[in-house]
Amino acid sequence: MALADLCPNYAQTRLLKKGPSSSDLPAYAHRFVVLRHNRRPRVSCSLAPNQVQAPSVPVTNGTARKTDCYGVFCVTYDLKAEEETKSWKRLIKIAVSGAAGMISNHLLFKLASGEVFGPDQPITLKLLGSERSFQALEGVAMELEDSLYPLLREVSIGIDPYDVFRDVEWALLIGAKPRGPGMERAGLLDINGQIFAEQGKALNAVASRNVKVIVVGNPCNTNTLICLKNAPDIPAKNFHALTRLDENRAKCQLALKAGVFYDKVSNVTIWGNHSTTQVPDFVNAKIDGKPVKEVITDTKWLEEEFTERVQKRGGALIQKWGRSSAASTAVSIVDAIKSLVNPTPKGDWFSSGVYTNGNTYGIAEDIVFSMPCRSEGNGDYELVPDVIIDDFLRERIKKTEAELLAEKRCVAHLTGEGNAFCDLPEDTMLPGEQ
């Protein structure tokens, strides 16, 4: 039976690669779009599953702006209105760069399962890769298909950030070039900085005006600064550099030393850069509600071994396993998002690399610096007042601040601040970036 026979009012319809906005479709619908001629895309009638011809798998043609919905996610079943429930929520659009990589291989399935945004929140995933990784992106999409996640309603894949970032509300920027043999840190800053400058411009052009951006690709603090400088129409406060993995590692080490489970550890801050100058803060941290220094009385361990263990944990993992952390990084991205979309427990806080303008800690402005934050669960955050910064912390904070200021000078050509001048004091790059 022809489609026109099924829908009497149907005329001049055609299939599209891209579907309507989420407001046009039920939240539980996959993508299959029927478009009336010269009108906005919409679903014109209901079809039983056996009456819908599945679209063909997207074919890589090497074009620079390739983006497609994928497989079953190109098919929409316009379910009857009575099947909608009161728990229906609007789709959240999430972009992930480096989507064919190891970190994303763990992260995407956590996002699709409902673990991050909640068990009743449907999402769409927009996956950004490269010409070289496009077939791998198709494989990722196939696995997402086969996992049958009911909350995952749409998947698209592409290699152009101007396509992939359109209307997204969350952008998780994971993809970055690893540091090659003999590459200076300044070289990596320049190469990856160009990636994040371009992605910042794309976000500024096409993303939601309130998009939340989490930068994972290293060096993540300065990449975040580059990204936000190239997205002037998006609030600088919406950009985060991922330092949550460092916080999680610090909590682990404190819990092991104190002989308690990690959920007893709170108020842990990572100050500064995601490098070996980072400052894991035991001065303000608590164990079972008590100051850490009252529970762990070994001051030498706290000031020396604790800090070093946190800073070098990634290197220790690589020595054991032969690869950098991927699963724990994905977990920390999940933790970072959940800290923004859920209210912070009373009296606690979390770490995130954020823009320093307006901070009350005496930290230089116009850099991205990890600091203690708390949230009301609306995606926004505020800096925590009244934290203790003693002489021990202040000395170390100044060192990581100086490093970030040097990195900023090194990428001035990418932030619109003139010619670059690299005077990085030493190589403090974390294992896994190398």
Instruction: Give 327-372 pLDDT, tens digit per residue.
Output: 999 999 999 999 999 999 999 999 999 999 999 999 999 999 999 9
pLDDT of residue 67: 55
Q: Is the pLDDT of residue 11 over 70?
A: no
Whether the Cβ atoms of residue 245 and residue 298 lie closer than 8 Å to each other = no
Residue 6: predicted pLDDT: 35
97 SS3 class: strand
**Which residue is associated with the tokens 């008590």?**
290
Interval 250-271 mean pLDDT: 98
pLDDT at 52: 31
Radius of gyration of the chain (CA): 23
Looking at residue 305, the DSSP 8-state letter turns out to be I
When pLDDT is averaged across residues 217-222 and rounded to a whole number, the result is 94
pLDDT in tens, 33-58: 222 223 233 222 222 333 333 333 33
Tokens of 288: 């079972």
Whether 274 is catalytic: yes
Comparing 149 with 71, the larger pLDDT belongs to 149
> From the CB of residue 346, how many other CB atoms can be counted at a distance below 10 Å?
6
Q: Tell me the pTM.
A: 0.82
Summarize the confidence of residues 159-180 as an average pLDDT: 93
Mean pLDDT of the chain: 83
**DSSP bridge pairs for 171:** 95, 213
User: Mapping DSSP to helix (H, G, I), strand (E, B) and coil, where does residue 314 land?
Assistant: helix
End-to-end CA distance of the chain: give it in Å, rounded. Answer: 60
pLDDT band at 420 (very low <50, low <70, confident <90, very high): confident
| Statement: residue 377 has pLDDT above 80 | yes
Write down the catalytic residue from 30, 37, 274, 413: 274
Q: What token pair was written down for 367?
A: 């850099």
Q: Is the dihedral of CA 202, 207, 209, 213 positive or negative?
A: negative
Residue range 67-88, pLDDT digits in tens: 578 888 887 555 555 455 445 6
- At 315 the pLDDT is 81
For residue 61, pLDDT over 80 is answered with no
Higher local confidence (pLDDT), 261 or 432? 261
pLDDT digits (tens, 9 = 90+) for 263-293: 999 999 999 999 999 999 999 999 999 999 9
CA angle 414, 417, 421 (to 5 degrees): 75
Top pLDDT among 430 and 156 is at 156
More confident residue, 316 or 184: 316
User: Do residues 91 and 22 lie in contact, with contact meaning Cβ atoms separated by under 8 Å?
Assistant: yes
pLDDT of residue 45: 24
pLDDT score at 350? 98
Give the pLDDT mean for 15-35.
Answer: 34
Range from 6-20, 158-172, 320-334 carrying the lowest mean pLDDT? 6-20
